[in-house]
Amino acid sequence: MTERHHTTLSRWAPWWAYLVPIVLLNYLRIALVPPGEVGDAASVALFVATTLAVAAVVTALHRARVHSAGRG
């Protein structure tokens, strides 16, 4: 594996590390704010915001873990 390919792979967490929290938090969001109580646009906006927030947190945690393991 080339150095560049390895660096690119280590920048992103595995797909399931994103999928599991996104699904769980969206189920929680639906339970707390049912789509019928807000408009379609608000429901989509909440989904997008939840997904982006989870992606940012998972990526940050993964990169911090990879960075600290590299120093080890």
- The pLDDT tens digits for 1-21 are 555 555 556 789 999 999 999
CA distance 47 to 22: 9
pLDDT at 59: 95
Closest CA to 69 of 19, 61, 17: 61
- The confidence score (pLDDT) of residue 32 equals 93
Cα gap 4→8, rounded to integer Å? 6
Find tokens 């660096």 and name the residue. 7
**Those residues with Cβ within 8 angstroms of residue 71's Cβ, 6 or more apart along the chain or in another chain:** none
Cβ contact 29:45 at 8 Å: no
Looking at residue 7, its pLDDT comes to 57
List, for the chain, all residue ranges whose pLDDT scores fall below the cut of 70.
1-9, 71-72
